[in-house]
């Protein structure tokens, strides 16, 4: 794919991602409900929710939190755009982390103990996920000889069986990013009573709407990263990647409904263990083989 | 129809109820009644809630909590009193510690009688509450709320 192609992909992402993310979230809730033998809300429910947040009176406990949440949304969009524009993979990781930092700052800026604990847990989750993410980048580099996503796709080296370890580690870690059980420690879409609403306890109205929209953007980007493992630069590779991403998302919903929440200690330890064994193991395998 | 009525989030508070009505409120969320099909979510966060479901007669100890929960909810908001205790004090009306119905502390929009209120009537009450929510939203837009 040439530069124009990547540019178009990035623009398409910026426009389509919230729509696709919203539908994905709706399907997620419907499937979850069906798995619990309930009828479930309409597919467009996440959209109704966000529109409702916009209609509500705005209550802000600390005015700086709105700014932080807006930055969070902005940097999540930038992350996705960078990713789909075929830019540097490391840059994507760092921008995502920056966005995450703004979310944690927003939660810390209010006095509520619930959102503070939520923010703390969010940091633990980031600590658990980040190493895995970096190992993905390193293995991508070792396989394709470049950190640039457009070069990775163009190299023709993907999909590679050599990356199976880091792929599995990424699947493990993505559960944390998608905020699914057993890793929905900082905030969860179900079981709202836990920690009241965790990280988002103090957010309401438009601020909460921004958080939801960021999730939509983020989820689509994460699915994009799954698809990257299968991207060989052809349309077939794209379609296989898309199907793989959707299948994995379905498995995540299944896991979400089948598991209880872990304590943060277990989550952190297991994240590091998986990162170390599968991620680092994969890097060592590259060096040795 | 406004979006508020398509996604009403519920905050449930037990103001010295005997737990009979609370069980019925929770029963509404089970697969048999499944409130979520109306987009209703049982949240624990007053700042994100639209409907306040209160069970039980309010007493001296928790009247402050009830008031605070009510004040923390952003407009438009609706209060639904679930069970005869919440409506008027019910069998506990004469007790020394009981103030009476919820409306002695905060304004109530919908009363759901019954001891315990059945899930069907609670759902009915919530749906009635949605009309009130819509009215309040319109008033809010006109600037009269
Ligand atoms: S109305 Fe009946 S069931 Fe409900 S709280 Fe009062 S006594 Fe209990």
pLDDT digits (tens, 9 = 90+) for B57-66: 888 888 899 9
Residue that the structure tokens 């919230």 belong to: A18
CA of B141 to the centre of ligand 1 (A): 37
Cβ within 8 Å of residue A152, ≥6 positions away: A89, A140, A143, A144, A146, A158, A228, A231
pLDDT of residue B138: 87
pTM above the 0.95 mark? no
- CB-CB neighbors (< 8 A) of B43 in chain A: 192, 197
Q: Which tokens belong to A183? A: 């890793």
Chain A partners within 8 Å of B68 (Cβ): none
Q: Is B108 helix (H, G, I), strand (E, B) or coil?
A: coil
The per-residue pLDDT for A71 is: 93
| Option in B34, B48, B75 nearest A208 (CB) | B48
Q: What percent of chain A has pLDDT over 70?
A: 98
A89-108 and A113-144 are packed helices; what angle lies between their axes, rounded to 10 degrees?
180
Distance B60 CA to ligand 1 centre (A): 18
More confident of the two residues A189 and B126: B126
Closest C-alpha residue for ligand 1 atom 5 = B17
pLDDT band, residue A152 (cuts 50/70/90):
confident
Residue A38 has pLDDT above 80, yes or no: yes
List CB contacts (< 8 A) between A38 and chain B: 31, 34, 36-37
Segment (H or E) for B9: strand B9-14
DSSP symbols for A120-164: HHHHHHHHHHHHHHHHHHHHHHHHHS-SBHHHHHHHS--S-GGGH
Does residue A6 sit in helix, strand or coil?
helix
Q: Is the pLDDT of residue A181 over 90?
A: no
B115 close to ligand 1 (CB < 6 Angstrom): yes
Partners of A40 on chain B (C-beta within 8 Å) are 34, 36-37
Q: For residue A243, give Cα distances in angstroms to A20, A230, A236, B78.
A: 15, 10, 11, 44
The whole-angstrom distance between A201's CA and the closest CA on chain B is: 6
Name the packing angle between helices A3-35 and A64-84 (round to 10°): 120
> Residue A80 Cα, ligand 1 centroid: separation in angstroms?
52
Report d(CA A256, CA A83) in Å as an integer: 27
Q: What is the mean pLDDT of chain A?
A: 88
Give CA–CA dist B56/B13, Å, rounded: 9
pLDDT at A79: 93
Q: Measured between CB atoms, which of A33, A200, A205 is closest to B36?
A: A33
Atom of ligand 1 nearest to the CA of B83: 1
Q: Say whether pLDDT at A193 is over 60.
A: no
Range from A99-103, A159-163, A223-227, A262-266 carrying the lowest mean pLDDT: A159-163
Model confidence at B76, pLDDT cuts 50, 70, 90, reads confident
- The predicted pLDDT at position A247 comes to 94
Sheet-wide strand order for B41-43:
B41-43, B9-14, B51-55, B78-82, B110-112
In our burial notation (b when 16+ CB lie closer than 10 A, e otherwise), range A116-130 reads bbbbbbbbbbbebbb
Question: Residue A199 in contact with residue A103, Cβ under 8 Å?
Answer: yes
What whole-number distance in Å separates Cα of residue A76 and Cα of residue A214?
6
Cβ neighbours of residue B118 under 8 Å, at least 6 residues apart? B24
Contact B55, B92 (CB under 8 A): no
Residue A145 banded pLDDT, cuts 50, 70, 90 = confident
Does ligand 1 have an atom closer than 6 angstroms to the CB of B101?
Answer: no
CB A278 within 8 A of CB A165: yes
Question: Looking up tokens 């898309």, which residue turns up?
Answer: A242
> Would you kindly state where each structural domain of chain A is located, as residue ranges?
3-288
Could you give the domains of chain B?
A: 9-142 (3.40.50.12280)
* Secondary structure (3-state) at A39: coil
Separation in Å, CA of A238 to nearest CA in chain B:
35
By C-alpha distance, the chain B residue nearest A58 is B74
The pLDDT of residue A194: 66
CA–CA gap between residue B106 and residue A9 (Å, rounded):
54
Q: What is the mean pLDDT of residues A43-54?
A: 90
What radius of gyration, in Å, describes the C-alpha atoms of chain B?
A: 14
- Distant-in-sequence, close-in-space partners of B145: CB < 8 Å, separation ≥ 6: B75, B76, B136, B139
User: Nearest-CA neighbor of A108 among A176, A199, A209, A187?
Assistant: A199
Please answer whether residues A36 and A257 qualify as being in contact, where contact means their C-beta atoms are separated by less than 8 angstroms. Answer: yes
Task: Provide the 10 A C-beta neighbour count for residue A18.
Answer: 20
Q: What is the average per-residue pLDDT within B107-134?
A: 90
- Alpha-carbon distance of A140 to A162, in angstroms, equals 10
Our answer on whether the CB atom of B49 is closer than 6 Å to any ligand 1 atom is no
Predicted pLDDT of residue A97: 92
- Range scoring the smallest mean pLDDT among A92-96, A110-114, A267-271, B57-61: A110-114
Q: Which pLDDT does position A190 carry in this prediction?
A: 64
- Band the pLDDT of A192: cuts 50, 70, 90: low
Instruction: Name the DSSP letter for residue A275.
Output: I
| pLDDT bracket for residue A189 (50, 70, 90) | low
Cα separation, A191 vs A36, in Å, equals 14
Mean pLDDT, range A145-159, rounded to an integer: 83
A75-86 residue pLDDT tens = 999 999 999 998
Given a contact cutoff of 8 angstroms between Cβ atoms, the answer to whether B108 and B81 are in contact is yes
Residue A273 has pLDDT above 60, yes or no: yes
The pLDDT, as a whole number, for residue A217 is 93
- Residue A250 has a pLDDT of 94
Residue A207 Rama label (left phi>0; alpha psi -120 to 50; beta): alpha
Q: For residue A43, which residues of chain B lie inside 8 Å, CB to CB?
A: none
* B contact test, residue of A26, A32, A106, A204 with most B CBs within 10 A: A204
Residue A225: closest CA among A127, A158, A142, A157: A158
Give the count of Cβ contacts less than 8 A between chain A and B: 82
């Amino acid at each position: 794919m040439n530069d124009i192609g990547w540019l178009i992909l990035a623009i398409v992402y910026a426009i389509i991602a919230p729509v696709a993310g919203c539908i994905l979230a709706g399907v997620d809730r419907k499937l979850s409900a069906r798995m619990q033998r309930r009828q479930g809300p309409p597919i467009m429910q996440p959209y109704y929710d966000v529109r409702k947040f916009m209609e509500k009176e705005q209550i802000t406990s600390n005015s700086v939190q709105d700014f932080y949440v807006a930055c969070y949304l902005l940097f999540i969009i930038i992350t996705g755009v960078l990713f789909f524009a075929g830019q540097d993979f490391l840059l994507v990781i760092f921008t995502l982390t920056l966005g995450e930092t703004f979310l944690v700052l927003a939660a810390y800026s209010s006095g509520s103990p619930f959102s503070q604990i939520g923010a703390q847990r969010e940091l633990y989750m980031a600590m658990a996920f980040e190493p895995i993410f970096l190992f993905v980048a390193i293995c991508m580099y070792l396989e394709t000889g470049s950190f640039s996503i457009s070069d990775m796709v163009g190299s023709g080296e993907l999909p590679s069986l050599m990356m199976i370890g880091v792929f599995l580690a990424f699947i493990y870690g993505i559960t944390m990013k998608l905020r699914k059980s057993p890793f929905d420690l900082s905030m969860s879409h179900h079981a709202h009573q836990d920690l009241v609403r965790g990280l988002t306890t103090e957010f309401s109205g438009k601020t909460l709407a921004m958080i939801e929209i960021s999730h939509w953007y983020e989820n689509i980007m994460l699915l994009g990263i799954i698809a990257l493992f299968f991207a060989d630069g052809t349309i077939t590779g794209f379609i296989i990647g898309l199907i793989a991403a959707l299948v994995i998302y379905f498995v995540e919903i299944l896991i979400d409904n089948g598991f209880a929440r872990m304590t943060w200690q277990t989550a952190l330890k297991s994240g590091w263990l998986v990162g170390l064994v599968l991620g680092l193991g994969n890097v060592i395998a590259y060096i040795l083989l | 129809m406004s979006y508020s009525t398509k996604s009403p989030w519920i905050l449930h508070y037990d103001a010295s109820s005997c737990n009979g009505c609370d069980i019925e409120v929770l029963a509404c969320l089970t697969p048999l009644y499944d409130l979520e099909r109306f987009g209703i979510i049982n949240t624990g966060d007053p700042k994100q809630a639209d409907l306040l479901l209160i069970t039980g007669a309010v007493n001296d100890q928790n009247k402050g909590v009830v008031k605070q929960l009510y004040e923390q909810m952003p407009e438009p908001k609706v209060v639904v009193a679930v069970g005869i205790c919440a409506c008027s004090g019910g069998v506990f009306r004469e007790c020394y510690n009981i103030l009476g119905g919820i409306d002695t502390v905060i304004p109530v929009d919908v009363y759901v009688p019954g001891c315990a209120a059945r899930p069907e009537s609670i759902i009915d009450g919530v749906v009635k509450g949605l009309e009130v929510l819509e009215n309040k939203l319109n008033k809010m837009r006109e600037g009269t709320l």
